[in-house]
Amino acid sequence: DAMVIQNPRYQVTQFGKPVTLSCSQTLNHNVMYWYQQKSSQAPKLLFHYYDKDFNNEADTPDNFQSRRPNTSFCFLDIRSPGLGDAAMYLCATSRSRVHEQYFGPGTRLTVT
Amino acid sequence: AQSVSQHNHHVILSEAASLELGCNYSYGGTVNLFWYVQYPGQHLQLLLKYFSGDPLVKGIKGFEAEFIKSKFSFNLRKPSVQWSDTAEYFCAVNLNSNSGYALNFGKGTSLLVTP
């Protein structure tokens, strides 16, 4: 029944060691999003894909990259994680940009 | 700048009490409005949404929200809360246009319902 799946649920990485988080969806939605959510804060949009069209938020650091090899999968790459990148990373999908978004359970990233 | 404000950051209610969580936004155009809920240890789930039509929308689990355009508000209500409503509630807004893709979230309201 899971519609938006994120793996792993918990990820520990070392300072500066590249890490990749993955997201898959069974909804066949056109749009996939990545959000960063820190404790007691609202989710913050990092970027999204509309089909293969990548849209980066203006204030997303270059350290964060994304790939969408096909409709179902989307990856978040953090090239050199810093301590400040420890957060919950949420993947979401939607049929179009104006429709409601469906969220995955998130990946909690710890940077040591 | 476009923003979403949730006025209550922490709310504590007893079971059977009525709930109203405030949400205001500052957008100039036509908007889509959402309330999401995040139960402890679970992912964000859509509670209800407003795109157009009847400004009083009903969602899951007995929740409803009213869009008041003149007040730029979309307050969430429930007549009688249950212990299982303990969760974080987020109001979110985006523009109803191709360029308005960013879903802006409020900072959230943490609701604790006591037995």
pLDDT for B45: 93
Say if A71 falls within a structural domain: yes
How do strand B3-5 and strand B45-50 relate by DSSP bridges?
unpaired
pLDDT for B3: 86
Residue of B95, B96, B105 lying closest to A42 (CB–CB): B105
User: What fold, for B3-114?
Assistant: Immunoglobulin-like (2.60.40)
Separation of alpha carbons B34 and B73, rounded Å: 11
Domain count of the fold of chain A: 1
Say if A110 falls within a structural domain: no
Which residue did the predictor score with more confidence, B25 or B28? B25
> A2: nearest CA in chain B?
B43
Most A CBs within 10 A among B33, B101, B107, hence the mutation to make, goes to B101
Q: Identify all chain A residues contacting B100, using CB atoms and an 8 Å cutoff.
A: 97-98
Say if A112 falls within a structural domain: no
> B90: nearest CA in chain A?
A42
Q: CA gyration radius for chain B?
A: 14
Mean pLDDT over B67-78 rounds to 95
Mean pLDDT over B98-107 rounds to 74
Residue A78: domain span: 4-105
The minimum CA-CA distance between B81 and chain A, rounded to whole Å, is 22
Helices (H), chain A: none
pLDDT in tens, A17-68: 999 999 999 999 999 999 999 987 889 999 999 999 998 888 899 999 999 9
- Given a cut of 60, whether residue B98 has pLDDT beyond it is no
Outline where DSSP puts E strands in chain B: 3-5, 10-14, 19-21, 24-26, 31-38, 45-50, 56-58, 64-68, 73-78, 87-95, 104-105, 109-114
Say if A111 falls within a structural domain: no
pLDDT for A92: 95
pLDDT for B38: 92
pLDDT for B29: 78
The gap between the terminal CA atoms of chain B, to the nearest Å, is 41
- Given a cut of 90, whether residue A72 has pLDDT beyond it is yes
Separation of alpha carbons B107 and B19, rounded Å: 18
CATH number reported for the structural domain that contains residue A65 in this entry: 2.60.40.10
Q: Identify all chain B residues contacting A100, using CB atoms and an 8 Å cutoff.
A: 34, 46, 49
Say if A25 falls within a structural domain: yes
Say if A94 falls within a structural domain: yes
Q: Identify all chain A residues contacting B94, using CB atoms and an 8 Å cutoff.
A: 97-98
Please, how many CA atoms are within 13 Å of residue A34, restricted to the half-sphere of its CB? Answer: 28
pLDDT in tens, B36-60: 999 988 889 999 999 999 999 999 9
Q: For all residues of chain A together, what is the average pLDDT?
A: 93
Mean pLDDT over A56-84 rounds to 95
pLDDT for A39: 85
pLDDT for B14: 97
Q: Identify all chain A residues contacting B51, using CB atoms and an 8 Å cutoff.
A: 98
